[in-house]
Amino acid sequence: MSHPASEASPAPDASTSPVGAEGSVPATAQDAGPVAQPEPSGPALLEVKDLLVTFGRKKAFRPLVETRAVDGISFNLYQGETLGLVGESGCGKSTTARGVMRLVEPKSGSVKLNGKELLGLPIKELRPARKDIQMVFQDPYSSLDPSMLVRESIGEPLDVHMKMNRQQKTERVAELLRLVGLPPDYMVRYPHEFSGGQRQRLTIARAIAADPKILVLDEAVSALDVSTQNQVIDLLEELSQKIGLTYLFIAHDLSVVRHISDRVAVMYLGQIVEHGPTKAVFDEPAHPYTEALLSAVPIPSPKTQRSRERIVLAGDPPDPSRVPPGCRFHTRCAYAMDICRTVMPQPTPKVGGGEVACHLHTSGPMLQGRSLRIISTGSTRTIENDAAQVVA
């Protein structure tokens, strides 16, 4: 961490502990909280450590402004699981995915796929190494070339990664179409002949063409209508069982994430603030941001929605190029203490598994990884905070 405020923090090395690796959390924190339900064990399929992605913006006669879009995040992805990555726009979840795939070049950190380091590989070696990790994007209208037949679009990864003759290729495309629930004779059609849901099936077919192990789904169902969205979610669940796919599922819709994910990581301004098993994060949120985010999602049941506690955060998320010192969330946080304004919190283990980066757990009320519900007031709160207003 090169953030000036973090130098004062008690356990600077804790920030390097990857999501899911319980062993590397600071000893003090481990003594304090009981650690139930360990994370998936065994070697991780994908190991991301201290990933840092920055964007520079140079204006004439002004110094370079550096935006740390992804600021030292770490997580592990295990075989067969679905890790949900949630957060608001601009928090760096898509940049994380792009950094992992080296679609943007990370500044530092490490990305290991099956134990093999991807960062720093020359592009010639990167291509075959990256075969195992493929991506599906949000907009199925712009991610298919309108002038290519379905057969050509889906067959393209086969040309790049597998040496196949014409007939093998046609057979493989037919098999892929069947796998995503479309008739094989659709391969001689153009994208404009398909609906949004069908197009998303095509992009999924293309993504799994070269037999990847991991699929990165960046808002892959967000552009679809509810009724078609579920069909695609069902397909993803079916594929994970049939061909053992592992998903990194990025979405802003928390209801969908809750449904599909085994574990969830919550991001705010380029950092993971809380992660853990889905149920633990959603039912027992330990970070004030997670709590506020969850309470902002309206529930499709009038009675439940009327009786819920609502936390309305003031202001917008701060500009990622001017992050506040200390805890990045303190400008909008209902529980902010003095320490939050100067010292960056370090991850501590959560009851029920996972980690949370918030001072409430190590000072003040000393929650020690327990749910925030212990100290919530149970009524509707509007958080007024001058700092947030100024930043906005």
Interface residues toward another protein, by CB under 8 A: 88-89, 195, 197-198, 225-231, 233-234, 252-256, 258-259, 278-279, 282, 292-305, 310, 312-314, 316-317, 382, 389-390, 392
Residue with tokens 């907009």, as numbered in its chain: 139
Query: Least distance (Å) from another protein to the CB of residue 221?
Result: 10
- Which residue(s) pair with 19 in the sheet? 75
Query: Least distance (Å) from another protein to the CB of residue 57?
Result: 15
Q: Enumerate residues 6+ apart whose C-beta is below 8 A from 176.
A: 154, 205, 206, 208, 209
Q: Enumerate residues 6+ apart whose C-beta is below 8 A from 304.
A: none
Q: Which is nearer to another protein, 17 or 331 (CB)?
A: 331
- Which residue(s) pair with 274 in the sheet? 266, 356
Q: Which is nearer to another protein, 127 or 178 (CB)?
A: 178
Query: Least distance (Å) from another protein to the CB of residue 356?
Result: 19
Q: How far is CA 255 from CA 54, 131, 298, in A?
A: 30, 31, 10
Q: Which is nearer to another protein, 47 or 218 (CB)?
A: 218
Q: Which is nearer to another protein, 165 or 227 (CB)?
A: 227
Q: Which is nearer to another protein, 89 or 147 (CB)?
A: 89
Query: Least distance (Å) from another protein to the CB of residue 71?
Result: 19
Query: Least distance (Å) from another protein to the CB of residue 54?
Result: 22
> Which residue from 77, 12, 14 is spatially nearest to 246, judged by alpha carbons?
77
Query: Which residue type does 232 have?
Result: V
* Euclidean distance between CA atoms 371 and 129, whole angstroms: 41
Q: Enumerate residues 6+ apart whose C-beta is below 8 A from 60.
A: none
Query: Least distance (Å) from another protein to the CB of residue 75?
Result: 21
Q: Which is nearer to another protein, 317 or 345 (CB)?
A: 317
- In the structure encoding, which two tokens stand for residue 352, read together? 């029920």
